[in-house]
Structure 1
Amino acid sequence: MSASLPNALTARLEADNQLPVTPSAVEAEQALLGAVLHNPEALDRARDHVRAEDFFEPVHRQMFEVMCQRRDAGEAIDWKLMKAVLGNADLGGVTTGQYIARLASEAITVVGAPGYARMIAEAAQMRTVYETCQAGAARMTCGAVENPAAYATHMIEQLDAVASAALAEHARRVTLGHSVTSVLARVDQVRQGHAPRGVPYGLPKLDGYTLGMRPSQFIVLAGRPGMGKTTVALHVALTAARRSGAVGFFSLEMGADELSERVLAATAYDPREPELITYRAIAEARGLSPDAMGRLQEAERACAGIPLWIEPQAGLTLAQIAARARQMRMRAERQGIPLAAIFIDHIGLIRPSKRYQGNRVQEMTEISSGLKGLAKELGIPVVGLSQLNREVEKRQDKRPQLADLRESGSIEQDADVVLALYRDAYYLEHKADRTDVEEDRLARCLNELEIEILKQRSGPTSRITCFCDVACNVLAEAAR
């Protein structure tokens, strides 16, 4: 074993002539620190990948932290400074000067700094995995029988940081030159028809106004109850899953069977058939004709290969949604397809953390900013369904406005796109003593749904009228 290793580490390595159980990359730490002593530019390249707390050896951790502080202050980094930092540290029988000289003599080049930095970070992540598993095993072998979900939840939260580390590569710092080159390359691909502008909504006019659901966007689909939020969300999710890749659908309100009934009704829909199959008819089952059963079996076959993954558990926290979304991303990559989008039905049912317990406005602020952060981290659109407040019902014109978003202005602030839904037929159907004029209007707008773009960071606002048969969960652009 090298005499240049700090004494504390030497003791760990040589105890019982065994290697340490804990994963480490001490030689990579030494090589990186030596490179910084030779050329501080190595530190600039390394810091995109490693932090001081990732270093296994405390002496190395202290050296790296001081190097970062000096670099940020615009001050020099040299062996005299490091000698002062180390002081009288126990370095296994060598002086601090000898140890620093050894680091410098075995240093890597600036070009190799990122690779060694990643190695150090990966060792730190491996330690997190190892220590989490050890702690979990210790807790579960103490003899007491308790709820295993608590242990599993704790371990998932600890390990999720490791799982997400590799997923956020795209969000790291880039130069302007690299970024604009990437944009122009994408523009060229789109112009040649080789790449889509965004994940499609499945409504040509809406896709035209918005360029589709773009990466890292937080999209809010808002409406009062009965406006068809789930109908629209399932239509968009199915379109995305068929054309762009896997889609995660977090259904915090409905079970998987209820959603599947709606998907089957939409897939089996055929306006030319005399019998329309509603999702209620599928739930009741007894009244379905043999012809309807045949169409549903065809719909089943059509749905079999669609990568729409439903998470039906209620009461999920934002952290749990994020963890499962990352798992979906890795699952999709293993299958050789991208994760195209995440849908959450609905935002108001996400269980808040205890940080702002009792303050609903702050709870919703935390949730909306977290969903925007998740969209940026994964580099995909995140679509959150949102209820509008009851103030809508007090107006004569009940078309929604941005101010109607429930409980927090942060949703409006954090969202890149806000789409609001309105069905005039819903209010006419629930109105007593309709006039003849209103009866005529109801007949004309019975299957109409308006989608209004209330907010779009990089595009116009507009209103689109669609055909919508809510009972069959069918949405299509109106032919006008």
Structure 2
Amino acid sequence: MTAESYDHTPAPLESNAPPHNIEAEQALLGALLFDNEVYHRVGDWLKPDHFYDPLHGRIYEAASQLIISGALADAVVLKTRFERDPGMKEVGGAVYLADLMREAPEPASAGEYGRLIYDLAMRRELIRFGDEVSHAANAPEPDDSAEDILQGAERRLFALAEQGGTSKALEPFHLAVHKSLEIASAAYKRGGGLSGISSGLKSIDAKMGGLHPSDLIILAGRPSMGKTALATNIAFSVARSYQAEEQPDGTRKTTNGGIVAFFSLEMSSDQLATRLVADYTGISGYLIRQGKIDAAQFEDIRDGVHEIAGIPLYIDDTGGLPIGSLMARCRRLKRTVGLDMVVVDYLQLVTGSKSSGENRVQEISEVTQALKALAKELSVPVIALSQLSRQVEQREDKKPQLSDLRESGSIEQDADVVLFVYRESYYLERLEPKEGTEQHLAWEDEMREIRNQADVIIGKQRHGPIGSVKVAFDPDRTKFSDLDYSGRQDHE
């Protein structure tokens, strides 16, 4: 094996062998053992299972572990790890590692070898993927329709495009703990504040540490409590804050805020947009819809529309959207544009598959499990709004609790976080005493105190404490914002 033998074209393949290049794998490993800095050029995207030769994958993984831990990875250090490796014995023993280092190409060319190894691995996965899709189409399961096969194929193809494999293998602990360190580092760099995406409300962020990738967040409340308004405020804040940096491979990495997909199954896209314009301009959404505005306000609205038109907020207002289609659209957006957060308004309007039949609890369970799987697959927070049962209205204490969730078993079980929106003023307003009485004066005083306040109750949180935070609510603008310590609205 000589340096001149390393070639950027695949080696001749034995009959029916999938695409591979053993010489490129040897070259990459030799360069890595010779200069450990090579790992930092390829480690983010080149994984052990991208190597065709299993022995080469094991050598790469062992070297990676040492380098990540700050230790030296060379032939001498790795020798003791591989003395009893059956694959190493087949190639002549641990002396093979020394041969790799001795015949190593220039470290500067290692990136090219890494990209060739990755490209060939993707080709092998595409061949495997094509065979599986062909088999599924030719011999489908009894309950699988063509649409089911298509959605399954799209899901697997997305996984291949994003992660370099059609299925996720077991992850070594050292990689998982390294990700944990990155999360802690992100929070530390923000001054101990957030490790997730900011919701735009400091009081909520302080309790939750932001909105975390892979989390399913249920936002629930009775009608007119403001759950859609809060979800819209969060989505708008995240999209407005979006910033990204260009990466060496040409992709963009989100550094603040995010790209948001908002599935509005009840409200049309123009109604949702009107809410956002009211939020941004401070002009009542009711006045905008009724056209009861003056020329100056119209100019403010027109200017506001131009200023926010370019934010990365994507709205889908398809009614009765099947969960499979919702997931497919999210994967497509992630692949083509990018995606950092998903909002579904609301959970009970998403339809399940035909297999759930008319069993409503089973259908909701299928939807919540799918949304949780989507959050993990795309590594984004998914906020799903949910209705509460009418039993809230039968209690003297109207504050919601987990048992009030409709079809609560599956929702509560699958959710990482459950938030409730509660406005005491909504109920007090309906208890107005007769005007002119002492009771009415007391009622007016209490209404003044709580009219523009709301509670966001954290009923469940896997990663932190439960509790309640008070926020300001402007019903004219359907806008939630922070309260300062004196209880006044924070106008930052």
Q: TM-score over 0.5 for the alignment?
A: yes
- The answer for the alignment partner of 1:459 in structure 2 is 464
Q: 1:180 to 1:311 in 2, by over 3 A?
A: same
TM-aligned CA deviation for residue 157 of structure 1: 5.7
1:247 to 251, 260, 263: 260
Q: 1:172 to 1:45 in 2, by over 3 A?
A: farther
Query: Does the residue aligned with 2:329 lie in a helix, a strand or coil?
Result: helix
1:223 to 204, 221, 232: 221
Q: Pick 1 or 2: higher relative contact order, CA cutoff 8 A, min separation 6.
A: 1
**Residues 1:265 and 2:262 are matched in the alignment:** no
Q: Distance between the aligned counterparts of 1:422 and 1:264, measured in 2?
A: 24
**CA-to-partner distance for each residue in 1:274-293, whole Å, 9 max, x for gaps?**
xxx221222222x2111210
Unaligned runs of 5+ in 1: 7-24, 47-75, 78-111, 135-149, 270-276, 334-338
**CA-to-partner distance for each residue in 1:30-58, whole Å, 9 max, x for gaps?**
99xxxx9x986579899xxxxxxxxxxxx
Q: 1:438 to 1:358 in 2, by over 3 A?
A: same
Amino acid at match of 2:162: L
Amino acid at match of 2:324: A
Task: Give the number of aligned pairs.
Answer: 371
Q: 1:41 to 1:389 in 2, by over 3 A?
A: farther
Query: Does the residue aligned with 2:219 lie in a helix, a strand or coil?
Result: strand
TM-aligned CA deviation for residue 252 of structure 1: 0.5
Q: 1:151 to 1:199 in 2, by over 3 A?
A: same
TM-aligned CA deviation for residue 242 of structure 1: 1.9
Q: 1:158 to 1:446 in 2, by over 3 A?
A: same
Query: Does the residue aligned with 1:471 lie in a helix, a strand or coil?
Result: coil
Q: 1:401 to 1:179 in 2, by over 3 A?
A: same
Query: Does the residue aligned with 1:202 lie in a helix, a strand or coil?
Result: coil
Amino acid at match of 2:216: F
TM-aligned CA deviation for residue 429 of structure 1: 2.2
Q: Distance between the aligned counterparts of 2:342 and 2:380, measured in 1?
A: 8
1:449 to 449, 454, 458: 454
Q: Distance between the aligned counterparts of 1:425 and 1:193, measured in 2?
A: 36
**CA-to-partner distance for each residue in 1:343-366, whole Å, 9 max, x for gaps?**
000000001111121111111111
- The answer for the alignment partner of 2:285 in structure 1 is 279
Q: Distance between the aligned counterparts of 1:114 and 1:158, measured in 2?
A: 21
**Contact 1:217-1:415 at 8 Å conserved across structures:** yes
- The answer for the alignment partner of 2:38 in structure 1 is none
Amino acid at match of 1:254: M
Amino acid at match of 1:351: T
**Identical-pair percentage:** 32
TM-aligned CA deviation for residue 332 of structure 1: 2.4
**CA-to-partner distance for each residue in 1:337-386, whole Å, 9 max, x for gaps?**
xx220000000000111112111111111111111111000001000000
**Residues 1:121 and 2:119 are matched in the alignment:** no
**Contact 1:423-1:448 at 8 Å conserved across structures:** yes
Q: Distance between the aligned counterparts of 2:212 and 2:158, measured in 1?
A: 24
Amino acid at match of 1:402: L
TM-aligned CA deviation for residue 432 of structure 1: 5.5
Q: Distance between the aligned counterparts of 1:292 and 1:405, measured in 2?
A: 41
**Contact 1:240-1:340 at 8 Å conserved across structures:** no
Query: Does the residue aligned with 2:396 lie in a helix, a strand or coil?
Result: coil
**CA-to-partner distance for each residue in 1:433-466, whole Å, 9 max, x for gaps?**
4642333222221111110111111111121111
Q: Distance between the aligned counterparts of 1:201 and 1:267, measured in 2?
A: 16
- The answer for the alignment partner of 2:161 in structure 1 is 166
**Residues 1:424 and 2:424 are matched in the alignment:** yes
Q: 1:176 to 1:156 in 2, by over 3 A?
A: closer
**Contact 1:346-1:385 at 8 Å conserved across structures:** yes
Amino acid at match of 1:453: I
Q: Distance between the aligned counterparts of 2:201 and 2:53, measured in 1?
A: 55
Coordinate RMSD, CA, aligned: 3.8
TM-aligned CA deviation for residue 408 of structure 1: 3.1
Amino acid at match of 1:219: I
Query: Does the residue aligned with 1:220 lie in a helix, a strand or coil?
Result: strand
Q: Distance between the aligned counterparts of 1:45 and 1:378, measured in 2?
A: 30
- The answer for the alignment partner of 2:66 in structure 1 is none
Q: Distance between the aligned counterparts of 2:477 and 2:215, measured in 1?
A: 29
TM-aligned CA deviation for residue 166 of structure 1: 2.6
Q: Distance between the aligned counterparts of 1:380 and 1:374, measured in 2?
A: 8
TM-aligned CA deviation for residue 212 of structure 1: 0.2
Unaligned runs of 5+ in 2: 1-11, 24-48, 61-85, 88-115, 139-144, 242-256, 487-492
After TM superposition, list the pairs within 5 Å mapping 1:268-307 onto structure 2: 268-269=281-282, 277-285=283-291, 287-307=292-312
Q: Distance between the aligned counterparts of 1:294 and 1:39, measured in 2?
A: 66
Amino acid at match of 2:157: V
TM-aligned CA deviation for residue 419 of structure 1: 0.7
Amino acid at match of 2:276: V
TM-aligned CA deviation for residue 317 of structure 1: 1.1
TM-aligned CA deviation for residue 412 of structure 1: 0.8
**CA-to-partner distance for each residue in 1:119-142, whole Å, 9 max, x for gaps?**
2112234567899999xxxxxxxx
Amino acid at match of 1:188: S
**CA-to-partner distance for each residue in 1:399-451, whole Å, 9 max, x for gaps?**
00011111131111111111101011111223354642333222221111110
The answer to which of 424-433 and 159-168 deviates more is 159-168
Amino acid at match of 1:268: T
Q: Distance between the aligned counterparts of 2:234 and 2:332, measured in 1?
A: 22
**Contact 1:164-1:326 at 8 Å conserved across structures:** no
Q: Distance between the aligned counterparts of 1:157 and 1:27, measured in 2?
A: 25
1:178 to 175, 178, 184: 175
In the superposition, the TM-score normalised over structure 2's length comes to 0.67
Q: Distance between the aligned counterparts of 2:153 and 2:409, measured in 1?
A: 32
**CA-to-partner distance for each residue in 1:55-94, whole Å, 9 max, x for gaps?**
xxxxxxxxxxxxxxxxxxxxx99xxxxxxxxxxxxxxxxx
**Contact 2:277-2:301 at 8 Å conserved across structures:** yes
TM-aligned CA deviation for residue 29 of structure 1: 11
**CA-to-partner distance for each residue in 1:157-187, whole Å, 9 max, x for gaps?**
6434323433356965321122222322442
Q: Distance between the aligned counterparts of 1:366 and 1:3, measured in 2?
A: 45
Query: Does the residue aligned with 1:472 lie in a helix, a strand or coil?
Result: coil
In the superposition, the TM-score normalised over structure 1's length comes to 0.68
**Residues 1:187 and 2:200 are matched in the alignment:** no
Amino acid at match of 1:398: K
Q: Distance between the aligned counterparts of 1:358 and 1:165, measured in 2?
A: 35
